[in-house]
Amino acid sequence: MGRKVGAEYINEDTCKFTVWAPLAEKVEVVWKEKKDAEPLEKDESGYWIKNISGVTPGTLYKFRLDGEKEYPDPASRSQPEGVHSWSRTVDQHAHRWKDESWKGLSTSQMIIYELHVGTFTPEGTFEAVIGKLDHLKELGVNTLEIMPISQFPGNRNWGYDGVYPYAAQASYGGAEGLKKMIDACHQQGFAVLLDAVYNHMGPEGNYLSEFGPYFTSKYETPWGKAINFDDQHADEVRNFFIQNAIMWMEDYHFDGLRLDAIHEIIDLGARHFLKELSQKTDELEDKSGRKYTLIAESDLNDTKIINPYQKGGFGLEAQWVDDFHHSVHTLITGENEGYYSDYGSLDKLAKSFKQAFVYDGAYSNFRKRSVGNSPKGLAPSKFVVCIQNHDQVGNRPLGDRLSQLISFEQQKLVSGIFLMAPFVPMLFMGEEFAEDNPFQYFVSHGDSDLVKAVQEGRKREFQYFFDKTGEFPDPQSEDTFNHSKLNWNFREDETKSVIFEYYKELLQLRKNGAFNVLRKEDISIETDEERQMMLVSGDRIYAVFNFNSEEQEVILPKKKGSWKVVLASAAKKWQGSQEFQEKYRSGDTVNLPASSLIICES
């Protein structure tokens, strides 16, 4: 492992300062409260280092380069006054952890709940999340996935504009609030994953290039120059981000990371950055005795990411699967523009339900090329699926959720397909009670030119839509942020309460093993495009999904014994229109209402 960077306490009043600035001739620590600067000493790799005594936790400092410009620490653990101001030392040993018995969860055990700290609760803080753990426990999830929390400009942001990857966002409660939240989660049986961004840095407050060649012009990403993972001086850039990942897991006790858009982490070296990160995480597992999980977001459908090292893979535990979301979304909403044009049939949904990837080397009309490779032989726990997430909701023009696009009966239908599927499920906050409030794109930049660029960029992106509606949620407006907060009074609405109880029932069935058989490769899936029905069967289980807008007849398969109804979404128990029998005989005909499902076991 390379050098640790930033300000690290050696004991109560001695802090070790380390910063990588290979091209600088002189680097000093300067203080907000003291006039005398402290010169650092350079090593052969371009790190400037010194143990400095008399530095109490909470001391504000910057680095001065070559006697001139002063900048915050690139590896700052705290930026209480914002991205342009002083860094603050944090005693990484101050929190007294109470999660000694926690060993983590394997990916196959996880039921993930994605949340944005700022909009999940009225307070929008780490500690406020603790107050909602009882709700999440009742729901039946066991893993929280936190959208990015690295310090970003202002107080409102999705988190993907972070510029201090080592600093927990001050407006959320900073380092101490974060540790309290994770400690409480572990004590109540929740794993916690962090959405980490290693493919770009935000534009405002990004001073990395002042310190060294953190970026390379060899490659271009949607955000500009790529982070330098394989060009000159790449070793120390890689170390900066690997140390960051290890810090979140070791110092903050995160159970793993969701790695944002890894297809934009460009590395043509012999050992890809992600493989090195995976191997370093394995070493941490051996050291700590805890389980850690790395999950990739990727649109490549490339199994190399999740294949083991001995098969030439990167060894990550799992990856997101867009194909599943797109297959469900296009069928239930009828939307077919852009990348959705590659989906929209029951056959595509059936293929994704069985093997995760629709595009497994198949030709994509939207991309005009073949995409992906075969996932055959990989465990379902290697794939994370959803029917909503921050991207698929928040990058809609108005940030409207699925509950605003489809009917009550359709919501029950698609959530049943989702939670019955054999993969690792991920819910998006509020989905479990059909939240009406949108989740929109919001920022709070301090640079007026950048604000204008963001506003105009969003208008251009959705120009056709806004020309028709005249609506535009201004990303910079605090109202846009506030409108995106969850409404926790959902129990006052009978329909929302039913959805919540329905999700609880599905998750309980899942945890009790009712759908385990569907994890086998030999399950049977039949589709009937004309009747808009999909039938899934395995050993002792039979499920029918009716996407039709009209009632359809279902003939239960003939076999010994009777069929017990495990769940029927159109039952009166779930505010549906029909009374179902508790049991049916082999070969019986069941009338399945429009936009509903039935799950039976023998």
Residue 175's closest CA among 242, 126, 208, 111? 126
Residue 297 falls in the annotated catalytic set: yes
Question: Is 342 annotated as ligand-binding?
Answer: no
Q: Is residue 325 a known part of a binding site?
A: yes
Largest interatomic CA distance in the chain: 88
Nearest CA to 185 out of 279, 117, 118 is that of 117
Distance of alpha carbon 65 from alpha carbon 210, whole angstroms: 9
First to last CA, the chain: 55
* 467 labeled binding residue: no
Is 476 labelled a binding residue? no
Q: Shortest CA distance to 242 belongs to which of 198, 212, 308?
A: 198
**In this structure, are residues 30 and 68 in contact, taking their beta carbons and an 8 Å threshold?**
no
Taken in order 98, 100, 104, 110, is the CA torsion positive or negative?
A: negative
**263 is an annotated ligand-binding site residue:** yes
Residue labelled with tokens 């009550």: 408
Q: Is 233 labelled as part of a ligand binding site?
A: no
Q: How far apart are CA 161 and CA 202, in angstroms?
A: 4
Of 204, 260, 342, 435, the active-site residue reads 260
Candidate list 236, 267, 297, 409, residue with the active-site label: 297
Establish whether 84 is an annotated binding residue.
Answer: no
Q: Is 324 annotated as a binding residue?
A: yes
Q: Considering only CA atoms, give the Rg of the chain.
A: 25
Residue 395 marked in a binding site: yes
Residue 354 CA to its chain's centroid (Å): 23
* Beta partners for residue 427, in sequence order: 113
392 annotated as belonging to a binding site for a ligand: yes
259 has binding-site annotation: yes
The answer to whether the annotation marks 262 as part of a ligand binding site is yes
Query: Does 135 appear as a known binding residue?
Result: no
Q: List the structure tokens of 80.
A: 């209480």
Residue 443 annotated as lining a ligand binding site: no
Annotation-wise, does 115 bind a ligand?
no
- Is 519 annotated in some ligand binding site? no
Q: Which amino acid is at 313?
A: G
Q: Annotated catalytic, 282?
A: no
CA-to-CA dists, residue 320 to 34, 302, 357, 419, 487, angstroms: 49, 11, 10, 15, 27
323 annotated as belonging to a binding site for a ligand: yes
Number of C-beta neighbours around residue 386 at 10 A: 24
List of residues 6+ apart from 253 with CB closer than 8 A: 97, 99, 102, 179, 182, 183, 186, 192
Q: Which residues does the annotation mark as catalytic?
A: 260, 297
The annotated binding site for substrate is made up of 258-263, 322-326, 390-395
The annotated binding site is made up of 258-263, 322-326, 390-395
